Structure 1
Amino acid sequence: MTASTSPKPAPSSVELRIGGLVRLSTCDWPGELVATVFCQGCPWQCGYCHNPHLLPARGPDQLAWQDVFAFLETRRGLLDGVVFSGGEPTLQSDLPLAIAAVRSLGFRIGLHTAGPYPERLARVLPLLDWIGFDVKAPFAEYDRITGVAGSGDGARASLALVLGSGVSCDLRTTVHPDLLDASALERLSADLGSLGAGRTRVQPFRSVAPLTQVPSTANIRPKSTQRIDRMQI
C-alpha cells in the first residue's frame, strides 16, 4: 500500500516507548528480512504471554526512539521492512507518526496486534503492508484469556477492519491447553467464518520463566474506559 499523503514528522517529534529491538529477524514477518521494534505496554494480561516484560506501560530498559530511528537509517537498502510488535503497539498514540517516519526511509511496514483498539488500528491501516493478527479465542470467550471483560468485542471489530482493508494478514492463535480445547477452536473457526476470514494458524504457547499465571475468571477486570485511557499514551 502507498502512503504518499501520510505525514513525515521529524524523528525527534515522535514519542514511542520501546522495550526492545531485534536488529535482524526472519520470523517476525514470514518471507521478509526485517528489524522488529517491540513497543512497551499492553492493556491485556494473557497468562501465557511470551513477552511479559512488555506488559507494563513503562519498562526498566526502555530504548530511545531517536536511537532506534538512527539505527534504521543505517539499514536502508539492507532490510525489506520494519515490524512494530509488542506488547500492543496500538496502545501508543504516536504509533502512526513513528510508522510514517520509518516509511519515509523506504521501508515496508508490518504490525503485530491483537486489536484491542479498533479506532487506533484504523488510523494506521493505510500505512501498513502486512499484519500479524493474534486471535485469542472465540470472541465471546476472550475474557478468560485477557482478564478484561468485553475484550473480544474490540478484537472482533479490529479484525473486521483488517479484513476489509485489503492489507495482507496472517491470523494466528496461541493455544494454552488449560484455555483452548478442540471445541473452543471449532467455535473460533465459526467466528472467523462469519467474518469471511480463513482459518487461523494454531501455535502452541511457549513457556517462559517465570510463567505468568493464567487469568482467573474470578479476577476478570470490568471493561473500564478510564483505565484504557490512562494506558493509551
Structure 2
Amino acid sequence: MPAAALRVAAITPFTTIDFPGRLSAVVFVQGCPWRCVYCHNDWMQSRAHAPESSWDEVMKLLSRRKGLLDGVVFSGGEPTVDHALPEAMRTVKSMGFEVGLHTGGSYPDRLAACLPLIDWVGLDVKAVPTDPETYDRVTGVPGSCAHFLESYRMIREAGVELECRTTAHPAWLPEDRLLALADWLKDEEVDTFALQIYRQPPGSFLARFDRIGADYPGERALAALKGAVGHFTERRG
C-alpha cells in the first residue's frame, strides 16, 4: 500500500523526548485495536474517525527539516494497524531520516514487515506479562498479552534498539504488581525501561482515576525496578 494512504491523525513537528538521542518529528497514525483503560489518545482509536492531517503534510514538513531533524517516530493509536506503514517508513528512510516506532505489539505479523526499517522501538508493556488475565483487562481485548509477547520476542531477536515502557496507576499496578514487573524485566535482561506515571489526558474534564500521590510508587518497588535494568527512567506529567 502506498505511503500516501497512511491515515495521519496528527503531527508533532519537533520533539527531543520521543526518540531518545535524536531530534525528531512524530507522525500519529489513526486507529488502534485495543481500548486501554488509561489511553492518552483515545480519539485516535477509531479508524472511522476522520484524520486531522495527511501524508502530504508529513512530506512537506520533512522536506523543510532535512538536516535539522535526525528521525521520525511513528506513533498512535497503534501505527502497525495501518497497512501503509512499511512504505511510509521506507519513504522516510530514503530521505535520510532514522525511523522510530511506538507500539504495543498488537500486530506481530505487521511488525515483522516493518522491523528491517526501524532504528528504535518504544514498546508499551501494559501490565505484568506473566499475568495475561490482567494484561488483557488493561487493554480490553482478549489475547493482547500473547500478541505483545510475540512482538517483544521478535524485536529482541532482530536486535533493534529497544525501550520498554509502562504507564502505571496504583488501581491497575499496585506495589506487588510493580515488583512482579521488576522480576520480569530482570529475568528478560531488559536494558532500558521507563515507568510513566499516569496523568490525565489533556482536554479531559472528567477524572478517570484518583489522583496519584507522590508516594507512588513506593521505595521498595522503585528500587526493584531501578535494579532490574541497566537504564531506568521515571516520567511524571
> Do both share a fold (TM > 0.5)?
yes
Give the structure 1 partner of residue 61 of structure 2: 71
Give the structure 2 partner of residue 223 of structure 1: none
Q: Deviations over 1:87-118 (max 9, x none)?
A: 00001111000000111100011110110111
Offset, 1:70: 2.2
- What amino acid does structure 1 have at the position aligned with 2:95? L
Q: 1:210 to 1:39 in 2, by over 3 A?
A: farther
2:108 aligned residue (118, 132, 144): 118
Give the whole-Å Cα distance in 1 for the aligned partners of 2:38 and 2:137.
12
1:102 aligns with 2:92: yes
- What amino acid does structure 1 have at the position aligned with 2:114? V
Give the whole-Å Cα distance in 2 for the aligned partners of 1:128 and 1:13.
16
Offset, 1:13: 5.5
Q: TM-score, normalised by structure 2?
A: 0.80
2:73 aligned residue (52, 66, 83): 83
Give the structure 2 partner of residue 4 of structure 1: none
Give the whole-Å Cα distance in 2 for the aligned partners of 1:18 and 1:171.
24
1:167 aligns with 2:160: yes
User: What is the aligned-residue RMSD (CA, Å)?
Assistant: 1.9
1:37-56 matched pairs, under 5 angstroms: 37-56=27-46
Report if the CA contact (8 A) 2:29-2:78 is conserved. Answer: yes
Report if the CA contact (8 A) 2:30-2:51 is conserved. Answer: no
Give the whole-Å Cα distance in 2 for the aligned partners of 1:162 and 1:117.
12
Q: 1:26 to 1:78 in 2, by over 3 A?
A: same
Residue ranges of structure 1 left out of the alignment (5+ in a row): 1-8, 215-233
Report if the CA contact (8 A) 1:189-1:199 is conserved. Answer: no
Q: TM-score, normalised by structure 1?
A: 0.81
SS in structure 1 of the partner of residue 62 of structure 2: helix
Give the whole-Å Cα distance in 1 for the aligned partners of 2:166 and 2:205.
22
1:143 aligns with 2:133: no
Residue ranges of structure 2 left out of the alignment (5+ in a row): 210-237
Give the structure 1 partner of residue 4 of structure 2: 14
Give the whole-Å Cα distance in 1 for the aligned partners of 2:147 and 2:40.
22
Offset, 1:60: 3.5
